[in-house]
Structure 1
Amino acid sequence: MDIDRTRRAFLAAVVGGGAGATALSPAGGLLDRFAAPSGDAWASARRSVPDTVESPHGPATVTYDDYHVPHVEADSEEAAYFAVGYAQAADRLFEMDLIRRRMNGTLSAAFGERTLESDRFHAKMDFRGAAEVSQSAIEGTRAAELAAAFRDGVNAYIDAGPLPLEFGLLGYEPREWETLDTLLVGQQISWGLTGSFDTLRQGVLREELDAGTYRELFPARLPHDSPIIREGQTGGEVHGAAEAGDDARVGDAAGPELLDWLSAFEPPDLLGSNHWVVSGEHTESGSPVFAYDPHLTLMVPPVWYEQHIVADGVDIRGATFPGIPFVVTGQNDQGAWGFTNTGADVVDLYTYETDDAGERYRYDGEWREFETETRTVEVAGGEDREVAVRKTVHGAFLDRAVDGETQHVGVAWTGMGGTRESAAIYEFSQVESKDEFLNALQRFDVPTQNAMYADRDGETMYHTTGKIPIRRAGGEVVRGDRVFDGSAGEVEWDGFEPFGVSDWEGDGEDAAFVPFEDKPGVDNPDYLGTANQRPLDDPAYPIGQEYASGFRGQRIYECLDEAVENGDGIDREWMASLQNDTLDIRARELVPAILDARDRMPSKADPWLDAMADWDYRMDRDSAAALAFRIWYEEFRRATWADDFEELGLDESYWPQERVLVTLPPDHEAFDGDRAAVLATAMGEAVDRIEDAGWETYGDYNVTAIDHQFGGQVSALNYDRLPTDGSAYTVFNFRKEGGAGSSWRMITPMSEAESRSVIPGGQDGSYFSEHYDDQLELWADGEYKPMRREVPDGDADVTVEGGSE
């Protein structure tokens, strides 16, 4: 990015009034605060970060490398994590404040009416209460002690450092950081990866579709043969695979109208991740190699923050979420690890009989009072609101007026039960073996994840994490894809204490949660890959229901299988080539059918069909065929589903998964018995769109759109638009619509070879920093920077002074 050019653009936009930024500042006075050179926001943003700070925890240093990754050195961990808190606040304080506000339900105090519905939802779910009991669950642990030191470092920066530009634009100052705020950040991550109201959506579909159609379009098992654990092909010791009992279902759908409100607070579609590990048996070095790229929201600044900590015998580098002290994914002296989303079902929904006044609900044969708290939501520039926060024996109670009637649903979520993942994440930094990693993993209660590990002793591992409920009805294990009768106590989790510290234990028939050893996993696989597909075909218990379509997982295994079969010595460069793989299996399956229907397509499609005929099915920016397929597929999907679902009053969020569409028979009724006709119609529409837009290659269309939280209000804060490769269904993962994709790429050989990493943007959240977006082009081009664990030479950038407590 040309910093000087973009600064001028920013000033022109804001001072000229074209950015509309005043809407973000209910108190008004934006131009006065920003007007150079005396405006408050300008002055704050231009001040330097203090390079010396006092600490009660002992001395430390922070040295930044060429990409602004802080390398923290200290004798004690307390001193180190104080410095980490100071560094994170210096680089990402506004991002940290925004997260805790969202989860605490206090966004409107800064943003006004526009965030009121978000505050209502987050207050009613009482994520703050859940964070409080998680804080109790880790009380007295080393993680809690170090989170307190981190808190002190954040507050030291708030007291001494310049506030980020965003605070000046909004006209408020952040309150001090609390340890609870770190737990709130964890709540956002956990809910963002496991929170779902899809049970309501599936209930609507079961009501609107006949049973046969529903089972065909929304199968419990998607039609592919590439689960994470492939029978007979994985190597190593497999566990968690055993035939479950009948997949019984109980209950009825209830309150689907709530989806208009609740769907805004579910995780975005197509969030996911890839990772794979190859044992030393198949690598050039004879040591394992591990590759990881989580697919999350692409935003400014990025969701991940990279850091390196050397203290008290620990040497760890990797990525974390701003506001969380500890490295979530990375490597230490012994090994490396990372996580992809499992898709496990850890939310149950309930309906209740309530009295006429709506003040009591029936449970276990008697009327009970809701546990109720009234919260005041402050609204900047508007009238404050009161929100009734209600709870039942199962968890949060969400109610909403719909057409003059109150609809409701009770929510039980494992994240409400006093969870210990903060302690587990800290313990990862300390592990010296696979067994120690597995031991720490047992305290990783939320979110449910596919954990992968490799180390320098040659050990590798995959294991499913998190607390997964075992649902029983009438003595049978059942799925959680129905809304249950809360008044009848139907399908409850024994030992679960919502907003209290839960008892997660239990054995055999008494177990309320899947025992750790019964979760899918493999010790020392030859090689193994995950991409959010189902873990295995026949788990001991029903694990989940929201798995990816499997295209990425299938492609990862195709490449791994070929390399191993050919005897290729897999190394870091080969792993990078797989992370950069852009072959779209949807295209490989459908393009031959498109070409077979060519005689039914208009002549204007000929150049694009010619390009497809010679295409290798790779979604590369310089490809005309990739452009034609991408736009055609959108039209094909719309032509197949839109009319039928619109007749039912259902929008796109109800449409079947992509694997279902790709594998439907050509004579299926969804195509009115003639898929070729639908293919041809979609191609005509696609060509019209392409010509109207003036696109020539995929890179004209597939352009990054990574925006600041202010979005179009202060558009100059957004990153530059760059052409890139990939799609939502390729290993090189990028989704233009919705702004999601590879949010962190990491390759860690367990040999002497150097690790590599990259984020989609920059480490420093300050717009005026040269590190605001200095990794963006690397990321868009599939390139990497070094991920060294050597502290850079030269003087420290920040010196932490002071004695220990």
Structure 2
Amino acid sequence: MDTDTTRRALLAAVVGSAAAGGSLAPVRGYLDRFAPFTGRAWGDATDPTDRRVESPYGAADVRYDEYGTPHVSADRERALYFAVGYVQAADRLFQMDLQRRVMTGRLSEVVGEATVDSDEFHVRMDFAGGAEANLELLEGTETGRAVEAYAEGVNAHIERESLPVEFGLLDYEPDPWSPADTMLMESQIAWSLTGSFRTLERELIASELGPEAVAELYPARLDHDAPIIRDGTGGDRLAGRPVEPRGEFADADLLRWLSSFESPRGVGSNSWVVSGEFTASGRPLVANDPHLALSAPPVWYEMDLRTDDLDVRGVTFPGVPFVVIGENDAGAWGFTNSGADVIDFYTYETDDAGERYRYRGEWRGFETDEQTIRVADGPDRTVTVRKTVHGPVIEREGREVGVAWTGHTATATSRAIRGYNRSDGIEEFLAATRRMDLPTQNVVYADREGNSLYYVTGRIPRRTIDGEQVRGTRVFDGSAGEAEWEGFEPFGVSSWEGFVPFEEKPHVVDPDYLGTANQRIADDPDHYIGEAYSSPYRGQRLYELLDRRAASDEPMDAEFMRRIQRDTYSKRAEQVVGDLVAAAEGREGLEAPVGTLRDWDCRMDRDSRGALVFSRWFDRFREEAFADAFERAGLGERYYPNDWVLATLPADIRWFGEGGREAAMVRALRAAVADLDDGATYGDHNTTAAITHPFDQSFLNYPAYATDGSAYTLNNFRAESAVGSSWRMVCPIARDAESVCILPGGNSGDYFSEHYDDQLRLWADGEYKPMGRDPGGEVDVRFDPSEGENR
């Protein structure tokens, strides 16, 4: 077989779709035609790293600790970030390059025909244009200069060192890294957290299943009592006038294509902050574990950075020089996704030639740009990128929709993250938060002076029709200027004047304690923020544990925080398992599973039979309720409502079919137990085998360790989708206390490194390692000032 053709088939399968935070779709069955331990691949992977490197920005030292975390110190900031670029490239260059190719629509020039669809979407969305706008906003700033130094460090590694093994296997080389590429990584992160076609899906469901189905299965507000901000108002208002889907945008083919490029379902996180009033030390505590797609190597990269006026440690995304989640000498912070609605869709009246669109009573020409998608071993494709006053127009085979997304304008997010790294207390942290335009997140913070904070970050649109604020829950009439965002300038610099003011975004200063788990932010918000919040199970459990401890005589401490992160109790199971047992009691052939569930403690533990029975049953229960109706409408599983909705549907509602809810429960239990092996436990299925390298080959994949947790427990892991706690961090803010953390894998992306998977067993077992400890010892890589040093 033609080796070059096979190589392209491999890469096409690797990058056919992208997941949150930079992980890539698995590939199976291709690498058996390669000899990975011979020839160029072996040489690329095993050549030693140079110990001394010239730097145009001055001296810097790198020491690696026992877990492969680089501790980088320098006299000046740009010397620091040059070294950071070098060490990130050493550990994660292939990951960085592949993500860059996805976002710029440049896969097919290496892969061939298989990735033209992906390239077309990313070219039409023009993520690269948004990144260029970001870079222009940074020009002349210290943040911009730091990003430039970082890019030079990456390129120094590319020029001096051998490439990672993946480049040898795939036989291509990376282009030089640019500051715009770092901005592109920020866009990729933001899209993975906020890019959603939910509005289009609701329109399609309204068309295929009727408006009643939308009202029943996709309520604007989930009826629970655990919002993030518990202010005791008892309100039941969702801000903004509802604008229900009209079922007019019902293009299933276009939506099916678009949906393969949106942020993955179920991405979430936990975080909480506790004031010193409730802690043993009298100082605050901060905990965070973001739930993102899990892969080898991990989505996060840990580092510890120091200059004379900077001391920060934590994790960043490969390709980004600054610590995104972590702590400095003043305080600690963490993020969870806020669920804010920062994307809208528009239809337009166009002329017969498709060259103009009507906007507010006049015809305007589309802004157009001809882009060429290079295709290896095939004809290149020319794509006409079209834009309106709102943003890009996504089109495919004559079907189109306009898109407005806050990531398509210049944002100050890089300056905000650098500000977090350098902040010296709550006032400076707040000032940095004001600058964070995207993504929309829940940030928690506490400092060593005892201050604490919760704030929703990011720019949140205010939409109006006839002067009244509305929700962003349907496709709008772009020709009429319906619900457009005042002060938004796509691919330019926005004034943001029509967006929710910073002071009016949900926030709490100095809460006693506050927990976020992607649930509804507030019962009675001043503005429409969004409605695509997660099921409340994790949020309920988090507040249950915090409330219980606060009401006791026992103070909270770091060990208690770690126990919360490891908690496996399922509020989803608590909600329905009693009804299931009652429905199945006495049914012939179900005696054993009913007994197992009756005695089960609702904990999703690896050695539990009950956890396995319940998880398989709920999957079947979901199918019993929705599979037939949705399949008849041509809709797949991705359109099913969330599990809270299913668990709270009335017993006699049409979705349960003959016999109602109880009969559907019993049918699902029979189907589930028929597939279970005798003696099997939850850990037989819930293993780290789900966390794979993009190539999904045994020599590159992580070991399979049984672990605990589920999608709906605080200890979060979903073997079926390889999503879960991508970083666990607990920071006691007391000066003499040690922060701890863990990655689901290792800090190095080099398969031959001892740090490729050295944290995986610890992660699977709910253990931790110290964060940011000075390793001491000899310098591993020294950066020497070069002649003509650039200050």
What TM bracket, shorter-length normalisation?
over 0.9
CA separation in 1, counterparts of 2:674 and 2:238?
A: 51
Q: CA deviation at 1:35?
A: 6.6
State the match for 2:249 in structure 1: 254
1:582 and 2:568 equivalent? yes
Q: Deviations over 1:720-752 (max 9, x none)?
A: 222111111110000112211000000000112
Is the alpha carbon distance of 1:735 and 1:79 closer, same or farther for their aligned partners in structure 2, counting shifts above 3 Å? same
Q: Secondary structure at the match of 2:344?
A: strand
The yes-or-no answer on 1:704 pairing with 2:688 is: yes
Task: Give the direction of change, closer, same or farther, for the CA distance of 1:113–1:687 in structure 2 (3 Å limit).
Answer: same
1:595 equivalenced with 2:609 (yes/no):
no
Q: Secondary structure at the match of 2:375?
A: coil
Do the aligned partners of 1:471 and 1:493 also contact (CA within 8 Å) in 2?
A: yes
Counterparts in 2 of 1:81 and 1:233: CA distance versus 1, 3 Å: farther
- Equivalent position SS for 2:435: coil
Match of 1:199 in 2: 199
Aligned-pair CA distance for 1:326: 0.2
TM-aligned CA deviation for residue 535 of structure 1: 0.5
Give the alignment's TM-score, normalised by structure 2.
Answer: 0.94
**8 A contact 2:612–2:682 mirrored in 1:** yes
TM (norm. structure 1) is 0.92
Of residues 539, 548, 559, the one that matches 2:534 is 548
Partner of 2:20: none
Map of 1:705-744 to 2, 5 A cutoff?
705-708=689-692, 710-712=694-696, 714-744=697-727
**Distance (whole Å) between structure 2 residues aligned to residue 144 and residue 431 of structure 1:** 18
CA distance in 2, matches of 1:491, 1:526: 38
Distance 2:574 2:447 in 1: 36
Aligned to 2:134: 134
Structure 2 distance, partners of 1:606, 1:476, is: 58
Q: 2:351 aligns with which of 351, 355, 363?
A: 355
Residue matched to 1:632: 617
What residue in structure 1 maps to residue 641 of structure 2? 656
* Residue in structure 1 matched with residue 660 of structure 2 by the alignment: 674
Tell me how far apart the structure 1 counterparts of residues 100 and 145 of structure 2 sit (CA, whole Å): 20
Alignment-mate amino acid for residue 696 of structure 1: A
Choose 443-452 or 359-368, whichever is displaced more. 359-368
- Tell whether 2:348 aligns with 1:365: no
Shift of 1:386: 1.7
- 2:597 corresponds, among 612, 626, 632, to 612
Matches within 5 A, 1:127-276: 127-232=127-232, 244=239, 246-248=241-243, 253-257=248-252, 258-276=254-272
2:747 aligned to which of 750, 760, 763:
763
- Secondary structure of the 1:472 match is strand
Secondary structure at the residue paired with 2:149?
helix
Paired position in structure 1 for 2:777: 794
Which residue does 1:76 correspond to in 2? 76
Q: Does 1:460 align with 2:456?
A: no
Q: Which residue of 1 aligns with 2:672?
A: 686
- What is aligned with 2:545? 559
Inter-partner Cα distance in structure 2 for 1:160 and 1:516: 46
Shift of residue 24 of structure 1? 2.2
For 1:245 and 1:623, the matched residues in 2 are separated by 45
Change (3 A) 1:278 1:241: farther
- Name 2:756's counterpart in structure 1: 772
**Aligned residue in 2 for 1:4:** none
Alignment of 1:248-647 (within 5 A): 248=243, 253-257=248-252, 258-401=254-397, 406-505=398-497, 512-599=498-585, 601-603=587-589, 605-647=590-632
* Secondary structure at 1:73 match in 2: strand
Most deviating of 140-149 and 353-362: 353-362
Residue 274 of structure 1 aligns to a residue in which SS? strand
Distance of 1:253 and 1:286 partners within structure 2: 57
Aligned sequence identity (%)? 53
SS of 2:386's partner is: strand
Q: Is the partner of 1:323 in helix, strand or coil?
A: coil
Structure 1 residues 645 and 211, CA, compared in 2 at 3 Å: closer, same or farther?
A: same
Paired with 1:620 and 1:114, the residues of 2 have a C-alpha distance of 41
Consecutive unaligned residues of structure 1, counting only runs of 5 or more, are 1-13, 235-239, 506-511
Asked whether the equivalents of residues 279 and 557 of structure 2 are also in contact (C-alpha less than 8 Å), the reply is yes
- Whether the aligned pair in 1 keeps the contact of 2:205 and 2:247 (CA below 8 Å) is no
Q: Distance in 1 between matches of 2:597 and 2:275?
A: 37
Q: Is the contact between residue 249 and residue 478 of structure 1 (CA under 8 Å) also seen in structure 2? A: no
The answer to whether the Cα contact below 8 Å between 1:60 and 1:83 also exists between their aligned partners in 2 is yes
Which residue identity is paired with 1:624? R
Cα gap change, 1:383 to 1:514, in 2 (>3 Å): same
Matches of 1:32 and 1:215, distance apart in 2 = 52
Q: Distance in 2 between matches of 1:68 and 1:548?
A: 35
2:737 maps to amino acid: A
Structure-2 change in CA distance of 1:247 and 1:25 (3 Å): closer
Matched residue, 1:748: 731
> Does the CA contact (< 8 Å) of 2:205 and 2:213 recur in 1?
no
Letter in 2 for 1:583: Y
Partner secondary structure for residue 41 of structure 1: helix
**Cα contact 1:74–1:310 (8 A) shared by 2:** yes
- Provide closer, same or farther for how the CA distance between residues 233 and 333 of structure 1 changes in structure 2, counting only shifts above 3 A: farther
Distance in 2 separating the partners of 1:211 and 1:397:
27
Question: 2: CA distance between counterparts of 1:774 and 1:518?
Answer: 45
Unpaired runs of at least 5, structure 2: 13-29
Q: What letter matches 1:458 in structure 2?
A: G
Going from structure 1 to structure 2, the CA distance change for 1:370 and 1:432 (only over 3 Å counts) comes to same
Q: Using a 3 Å threshold, how does the CA distance of structure 1 residues 581 and 281 change in structure 2: closer, same or farther?
A: same
What is the match of residue 237 of structure 1?
A: none
Whether the 8 Å contact between 1:602 and 1:684 is mirrored in structure 2 is no
Q: Aligned partners of 1:211, 1:398: CA distance in 2, in Å?
A: 26
* Cα distance in structure 2, aligned partners of 1:601 and 1:21: 55
Distance in 2 between residues matched to 1:628 and 1:36, nearest whole Å: 43
Q: In the superposition, relative to structure 1, how do residues 250 and 495 fare at CA in structure 2: closer, same or farther (>3 Å)? A: farther
Equivalent residues of 2:202, 2:214 under 8 A apart:
no
2:24 aligned partner: none
Distance in 2 (CA, whole Å) between partners of 1:769 and 1:30 is 21
Q: Quote how far apart the aligned CAs of 1:30 are.
A: 8.9
Alpha-carbon spacing, 1:675–1:68, altered in 2? closer, same or farther (3 Å): same
Whichever residue aligns with residue 622 of structure 1, its letter is D
- Which residue number in structure 2 is paired with residue 6 of structure 1? none
Deviations 1:704-735 (A, max 9, x none): 234555334x4421212221111111100001
- C-alpha separation in 1, matches of 2:244 and 2:137: 34
Matches of 2:10 and 2:160 in 1, distance apart? 26
C-alpha separation between the residues in 1 aligned to 2:225 and 2:626?
A: 25
When structure 1 is superposed on structure 2, of 389-398 and 646-655 the one drifting more is 646-655
Q: Equivalents in 2 of 1:31, 1:734: separation in Å?
A: 30
The one-letter amino acid paired with 1:47 is: D
C-alpha contact (below 8 Å) 1:25/1:169 kept by paired residues: no
Following TM superposition, by how much is the alpha carbon of 1:445 offset from its aligned partner in structure 2, in angstroms?
A: 0.4
TM-aligned CA deviation for residue 233 of structure 1: 9.6
SS at match of 1:560: helix
Deviation at 1:229, TM superposition (A): 0.4
Task: Tell me: CA distance 1:249–1:87, structure 2 relative to 1, closer, same or farther (3 Å).
Answer: same
